[in-house]
């Protein structure tokens, strides 16, 4: 997705300058927080990691400085948004910023992942697993998720490639679904609703979904051979 406004250029210049300061990666976290919905889980994760790193690297007496830095970056971004920085720009800039962190500051990015993905995906997994009534339903749910992922972004396609299921198992699985899997109260639609309610951008939503499906796979299909005794009459 390409940027749409001149304010996006201003944002990128501001962040580039900030990265050269003594605070470096902390500045990136501040400005990423500034273009993220303050009600979202991502925002709270970015903020938590920022203050955790600031506290680890600076004296306790500088807590006020940390708050000032966070609020200043957020105010700057709010001003750009009022001037015309679009929602699509924010999504693109945030995605690029997180990708930058993952490449240059992998330890920091891992902290964000731990905050954003693990706890959230665990909560969603508990809900989804509780409505899967059998191994047969779990298997059908998994192969449908893998078929959908095979048409997704690079990360989703890599997830499919790394799974231990055969292509023949995955292909056309969505066309052969059942209400136990894809019904209104089934695991697939429930998973979609839960993720949509989180107001995540596509990159984060995909990663949450992958983690939940992985947990279902590990829980229900621990042994590759146990797919052979699936009784399809329990699904269709």
pLDDT of the residue at 176:
84
Dihedral over Cα of 67, 71, 73, 74: its sign = positive
pLDDT of the residue at 225:
46
pLDDT of the residue at 226:
54
pLDDT of the residue at 75:
96
pLDDT of the residue at 230:
61
pLDDT of the residue at 236:
44
Give the domain ranges of the chain: 6-104, 118-234
Name which of 183, 177, 122 is nearest 148 in CA terms.
177
pLDDT of the residue at 60:
58
pLDDT of the residue at 228:
57
Distance between CA 101 and CA 191 in Å, rounded?
Answer: 28
For the chain, 236 residues long, the average pLDDT of each consecutive 10-residue run is: 84 90 87 92 89 79 84 96 94 91 92 82 93 92 94 91 87 88 94 88 86 92 60 52
Global pTM reads 0.61
């Amino acid at each position: 997705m390409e940027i749409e406004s001149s304010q996006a250029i201003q944002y990128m210049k501001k962040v580039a300058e900030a990265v050269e300061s003594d605070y470096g990666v902390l500045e990136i976290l501040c400005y990423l927080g500034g273009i993220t919905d303050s009600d979202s889980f991502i925002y709270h994760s970015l903020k938590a990691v920022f203050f955790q790193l600031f506290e680890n690297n600076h004296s306790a007496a500088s807590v006020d400085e940390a708050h000032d830095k966070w609020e200043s970056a957020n105010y700057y971004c709010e001003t750009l948004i009022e001037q015309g920085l679009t929602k699509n720009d924010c999504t693109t800039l945030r995605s690029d910023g997180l990708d930058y962190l993952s490449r240059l500051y992998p330890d920091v990015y891992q902290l964000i992942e731990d905050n954003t993905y693990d706890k959230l995906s665990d909560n969603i997994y508990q809900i989804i697993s509780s409505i899967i009534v059998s191994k047969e339903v779990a298997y059908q749910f998994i192969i449908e998720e893998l078929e959908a992922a095979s048409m997704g972004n690079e990360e989703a396609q890599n997830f499919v490639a790394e799974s231990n299921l055969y292509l023949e198992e995955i292909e056309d699985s969505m066309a052969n679904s059942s209400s136990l899997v894809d019904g209104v109260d089934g695991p697939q639609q429930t998973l979609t609703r839960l993720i949509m309610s989180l107001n995540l951008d596509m990159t984060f939503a995909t990663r949450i979904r992958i983690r939940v499906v992985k947990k279902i796979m590990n829980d229900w299909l621990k042994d590759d051979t146990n797919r052979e005794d699936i009784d399809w009459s329990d699904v269709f």
